[in-house]
Every structure is written in C-alpha cells, then in structure tokens.
Structure 1
Amino acid sequence: MTTETTTASMARVGTREEWLAARLELLRAEKAFTQQSDELSRQRQALPWVRVEKVYDFDTDEGAATLADLFRGRSQLLLYHFMFGPDYEAGCPSCSTIADGFNGIAVHLANHDVTLAAVSRAPLPRLRAYKQRMGWTFPWASAARTDFNADFNVWFTEAQQRDGLVEYNYRREAAWRLKGAVGPVAEIAAMTGTDPATYTRERPGMSAFVRDGAVVYHTYSTYARGLDALWGMYQWLDRAPKGRNESGVWWRRHDEYGRR
C-alpha cells in the first residue's frame, strides 16, 4: 500500500460539491470565532492600567536600563518572558521557536509605536551569544540584577516549588515532585542543559505595558496556552491537513534540525 493511499484512508474523501458545502459551514464557525476574538481584544484593552511603582534595573546592549528605557521612546511595550535562566546552557527550545517569528514582526510594530522585546534572567553575555547563534535582532534584556521575573510570576524559587507556593497562570500549583521525571518536561530540560526542577522554575509568558510621560503602567499578561497565538508555527499547523499531529517533543531550535 502506498503512502498516498494510507494518508487518504485517514480522511473523509468526497466530491468538490461536498467539500464546498462543508467549507461554507466551517466558514460560519470561523466568522463567529473571529468576532469572538475581536471581542476578547476589546476586553483586553479595557482592563484597568496598573501603575508600576518599583524601579527595575535591566542590562541591555545599550547599557543599564529601567523598564521605561525598554520602550525605546515609544508609548507601548510588549515583553516576551523568555525561559533562559542563569543555570541554562541554552535558551528554552520552545521559547526559541516562538522568538523565531519576532524579527519580521518587530520592525512593523516599531513603526506603529510598539516596541517588542524579550526579557530573561540569564546574564547579558549569555543572551548575546545565544541571540547571535539564532540570528535574532530584536531587543533582549537581562533581568539578572532585578526581581522583575518573580514579580511577574515567571520565575520561582526552589522553596516555592517544593512547598506548593508557585502561582502561575493565575492559579496555585501543587508541590512539584520532579526528581527522576521523564517525558516532555525532562526532554526539554535536557535540551537546555538543566534538570526538570531547575528548568521549570522559569516560565514563559508575555506582558504589555504603556508609558504616559515618565509613568509606566502594566496592562496585560498571559501565560501557558495563552501564548499559543504567538507561536507562529502552530497557527500554520492548525490549517494544515493533519493539524498539529504531535507525538512528544518534535520541534528543535532552527539550527538543530537534521542533527543526529
């Protein structure tokens, strides 16, 4: 049996007329989803602004910077919380696949009064080296000297993890028992050169800020599956014939495909 036959046997094969009827039904659902998405965007933008009172000290390619400096003169700032802890040997491969899409987007956002940047706890020289390896040009700040990541719930201490005090994605997690862990978490942790416990003390997310003069306000944050829409490859796979079609961790950093 050929591959073509095997693949086709997994789908419902029909006529062009049947396809068109089904497509028009799906189109109605897609339009409803688009309208719901528009409403969700309106609700995001209607959230109250919270003034950021604390002063955060970041390290950037331009030198020491405050949160206001990360705006680069624009009024809006979108920060991606990139999982790259000081104990990592390389950035998280999942975050890396998301960040692969930033270069092409950042220039357009910059010309629409929005700065797109990443923040991680790894020291700046480590971020610079990894950024060069990946061929990225978007701004990437180190939060190594500040508690910014802890305040925005994307980094947790070993004690918080052990005692069930981790609050991520707006909920309290149970105590983690990761010693000897196997599966996707252990696999991805190994790809960063860490153990599962160390790896999962860092978390992904994105936060939005707005600047009014010298005052900075926090307007929005999302985590976990809330980042799906920013993970460009999945938006394409969701429209591919076989969908995400996943079994385990199949993705790699873009310079690692084909390696044995």
Structure 2
Amino acid sequence: MSAPKLRQPTAAPDPVDRAAFDAALARQVDLEKEVTRHGDRVSAARRRLPMVEVENYVFAGTDGPVSLVDLFGRHYLLLVQNVMFGPGWESGCPSCTWAVDNLPANMGRLDDEGIAFAMVSQAPVDKLEAWRVAHGWDHTWVSSFDTTYHHDWGWTQTDDTGQEGQLPGYSYYLLRDGVPYLTYMTTARGTEAILPTAHIMDRTCYGRQQDWEDSPEGWPQYPTYG
C-alpha cells in the first residue's frame, strides 16, 4: 500500500444542494446493495466448497518445532496469514506488514468465534522474530524454511528463468478428527476482504488514491507500492 497522502488535493466533488445529494446517495446505496447481495451469494458458494487434506507440516517456532495441528490450539478453525518474507530477505514485505498492522486490535474476538490465528513465512525464524519484535506484534509466527509448505501450496513460485517469487494471502483450515484440511485460500486482491483500512479509504471521496483506480479527472493517484 502507498503511504498516507496528507496534503489536501485541489480537486473535489461537485457541490450540490441537499436534495440532489440525497438522490445521488440513494442511487449509490442501491448499487452497494447489489454488491452486498452478490457477496452473500459468493459466501454461500464458499461455504459449499470441498476440502483437501493437508500434510501436518512441522514449522520452526521461536520455542521449537510447531506443527500445523499445533497452530489450532484448542480450536477447530484456523486462519493462517502467509506473509511474504523470503529466506534471503532482510526485512518483511512492506505490503504484508501493512496488512498485519490492519488486523483487529483485539484478536481475542477471533478467539471468541473459535478461530485460531497464526502467520507463516519462508524466512528463518530468527528473522521473523526480529521483525515481529520491531513491529510490536504478539501473533504466533512460524517459519516454513525447512519444509516444502511454500512450494507445495504455491506461496513461493518459480518463473521460467528460475527466479522465485512470493505471494501474500490467507489460508483457512478445519481440523477434523485430528487431521488438518484446507477449506479456502485467497491471494492478491482477495486479501482485501479483511483489510479495514482499505475499505475505509474506499469510502472517502478520493478512494485509495492509487493509480489503478477509475477516478474522476484530476483526482490524486499515486503508484500503489510507491
């Protein structure tokens, strides 16, 4: 994500009277209701997805080995954030770091719903721990460095030149009779569903101010990862 833009833009929405604004807002609300209803249909389809058994990988934690099943703790549901942090990197991905900072301030709310949370990256655990401490996170963060997890599930991919690249995203698991199953996963813009700051920005008159957005002429726009 781009850095916050603190300088007020010159361009602004057209000023109108209250009646015109109410009419325009009503039309917008109708559009958003369509999105909500479509989202409900998409969610219903998601709940009908099959699941696939996943190897009980043994990751490296700060206090020793941690299996995928261990990450569930006392829960049967698990959300794993796949944070981009390659083995040779000295710092974590800025966009993924921003995403972690967007997590609920009270992660106990997930616990109340029976959902465990953990993060996984491919970098060695000592690098993850240093980054975690530097950013004040208290989330469980494990390393897949000595496993095939990242390659098995496409979080690390190799292009035609042999160069490896990483993807950010989320994996949703269900523990059934002691066996972990993957029920859903998403990457790229699919991650936005749980990024509240992005949704707050979307509802301001300027949106995210990023160069891919369809905005009126003169609206501020900056490189997404600038």
Q: What TM-score, normalized to structure 2?
A: 0.85
Maintained 8 Å contact 2:103/2:195: no
Task: Identify if the C-alpha distance between structure 1 residues 82 and 70 changes in structure 2 by more than 3 Å, giving closer, same or farther.
Answer: same
For residues 242 and 130 of structure 1, what CA distance do their matches in structure 2 show? Answer: 32
Instruction: Give the corresponding residue for 1:96.
Output: 97
Instruction: Give the corresponding residue for 1:142.
Output: 143
Task: Identify if the C-alpha distance between structure 1 residues 51 and 125 changes in structure 2 by more than 3 Å, giving closer, same or farther.
Answer: same
For residues 196 and 120 of structure 2, what CA distance do their matches in structure 1 show? Answer: 19
CA drift at 1:223: 1.1
Deviations 1:156-199 (A, max 9, x none): 24xx4416xxxxxxxxxxxxxxxxxxxxxxxxxxxxxxxxx56x
Matches within 5 A, 1:188-227: 201-227=165-191
Task: Identify if the C-alpha distance between structure 1 residues 62 and 71 changes in structure 2 by more than 3 Å, giving closer, same or farther.
Answer: farther
For residues 51 and 250 of structure 1, what CA distance do their matches in structure 2 show? Answer: 36
Maintained 8 Å contact 1:76/1:115: yes
Question: 1 or 2, which has the higher helix percentage?
Answer: 1
Maintained 8 Å contact 2:57/2:147: yes
Match of 2:223 among 239, 248, 254: 248
Query: Residue 106 of structure 1 aligns to which amino acid in structure 2?
Result: M
| Unaligned 5+ runs, structure 1 | 164-196, 252-260
| Secondary structure, aligned partner of 1:102 | coil
Percent identity of equivalent pairs: 32
| Unaligned 5+ runs, structure 2 | 1-6, 211-221
For residues 109 and 137 of structure 1, what CA distance do their matches in structure 2 show? Answer: 14
Query: Residue 94 of structure 2 aligns to which amino acid in structure 1?
Result: P
Task: Identify if the C-alpha distance between structure 1 residues 146 and 135 changes in structure 2 by more than 3 Å, giving closer, same or farther.
Answer: same
Question: 1 or 2, which has the higher strand percentage?
Answer: 2
Deviates more, 1:226-235 or 1:133-142: 226-235
CA drift at 1:5: 9.6
Query: Residue 39 of structure 2 aligns to which amino acid in structure 1?
Result: S
Q: What TM-score, normalized to structure 1?
A: 0.75
Maintained 8 Å contact 1:211/1:217: yes
Match of 1:25 among 21, 24, 27: 27
Number of residues of Structure 1 aligned to a counterpart in Structure 2: 209
